[in-house]
Amino acid sequence: MSNLPHKSNWIDGSHQQPTHQQIHIINPATEEKIATIDSTPLEAVNSIIASSLQNFSSGVWSKANASTRFGVLSKAASLLRSRLPEFIDLETQQTGRPIREMRAQLARIPEWLEYFASLARTHEGRVTPFKGPVVNTLTRLALGVVVQITPWNHPLLIATKKIAAALAAGNSVIVKPSESAPLSVLEMGKLFKEAGLPDGTLQIVSGYGRETGKFLCESPFVSKIDLTGGLATYEAIAPTASKNMVPITAELGGKAPVCFFPSMPIEKGVKAALFASFIASGQTCVTGSRLLIHSDIYDEFVKLLVERTKALRIGNPVDDKTQIGAVISRTSVERCSAFVSRAISEGGNVLCGGEPTSVNGKGFFFAPTLIETKCGSDLACNEVFGPVIALIKCQSEEEIIKVANATSFALGVSVWTNDFSQAHRVAERIDAGIVWINGHHLNDPSSPWGGFKESGLGKENGIEAFESYTKVKSTVINYGQEPTWFDDEVENARYG
């Protein structure tokens, strides 16, 4: 047995005995093994789903009143806020992201629990304008057992977004965090139990996506799948979900354009580009991975951007001075290198970076990279998920819009201009689920998050997410319409 600490599955209100098959968790900044987790087999998955189904059917949470759900989620928010330092340390260790980034991100996560707690307490049904002496009430009911597949790039944030919405609506939840960075999510079980969530309402199951995740998504007893991942993962689970009549919310990725117009001061624009492109070492679905720069400012903009990019501090993520941390794995380093090689072969011009690096000879690091390229190139169209950024010179507003729309992704875009009319004109014409004007990476629990085209289906955040975890029951109450179908007054009958 390993001497490493083990984080086992959280099932029915406690951490279970470790499974025989275990997975090592690697700190990507040091390449050290820091923990082990369970690799959950099919038999255990089926047992967990059965337990979750029993929990839902019991009504202990699904039938709990709104004030109870509000109280539990609100207390969970308070507990999480009081324990942020331990979660920040875990996130930094397992993702290799700079601790300064993790402090900023995790400080906001309790807001999602508070927001959905409030929705649970205040969201109301409605009465439709049904014709005649009839009252038609619409009520929202929990779906049942829902499965959530969460990623490694924002482990706690994305898991909390999904968990909060699903629990607020009254569902029983099974979460499978990524096998690359599951530790912080596995710790959430104890926190929710302390907040008063009934045992078995939230199950946290670890394992490989191709095994444990697949087993969960193929179960006919699951009522919804919520996935953040890649298009290949969606394509793998969609056929079975379709056969089982299971709805899917899928957040699948992006190739976000960051559009710079001449009215934006160069200094401010360059700061915006650095923030959009290199937060989390470019490992976010809305990374500003395509900088579309108007030709009137291109040369001056790029000169300063290259200078600032070269000055970014790569280092140990636990150092407060570090600005660029690790990518998640050696495979990610190799993927970044492959994109650079293809960009060069297509005539791209590497302005800075372009190579793997290390800190004290260790870690999965890749230097922040800027490459001049053209619309339609591999780098301009496909998601790197790393700090390799395409720069594209555009001659006009019309060309910026055309290039921005020239990929199969449509998640996020930012438009940087001080021309008010232009801002709205461009935002209206770019095809994306999220448009920021003079901002990037802005997020709020009330703001729907999700894209179009190959970026996915459905929304996280907001009332839209809450309602996606419910089904609508229509109750039609006749208080004055007499049945007339088989009497002599057929012309007065109501039907259909």
Q: CA 286, CA 275: separation in Å to the nearest integer?
A: 11
Distances (CA, A) of 431 to 74, 131, 380, 410, 414: 36, 39, 16, 6, 12
Cα distances (Å, whole numbers) of residue 113 to 20, 165, 402, 461: 34, 8, 39, 11
Pairing, β 22-27 against β 32-38:
antiparallel
Q: Report the largest interatomic distance among the alpha carbons of the chain, rounded to a whole angstrom.
A: 93
All residues at 6 or more sequence positions from 402 whose CB lies less than 8 Å from its CB, including other chains? 375
| Strands (DSSP E) found in 143-218 | 145-149, 172-176, 202-204
- In 109-251, beta strands by DSSP E: 126-128, 134-142, 145-149, 172-176, 202-204, 224-228, 248-251
Query: Which residue in the block uniquely carries the two structure tokens 């299971």?
Result: 246
Distance CA 77, CA 324 (A): 29
Cα separations (Å) of 294 from 136, 202, 218, 400, 474? Answer: 55, 49, 48, 8, 53
Q: Which residues are catalytic?
A: 251
Would you say 29 and 316 are in contact if contact means Cβ atoms under 8 Å apart?
yes
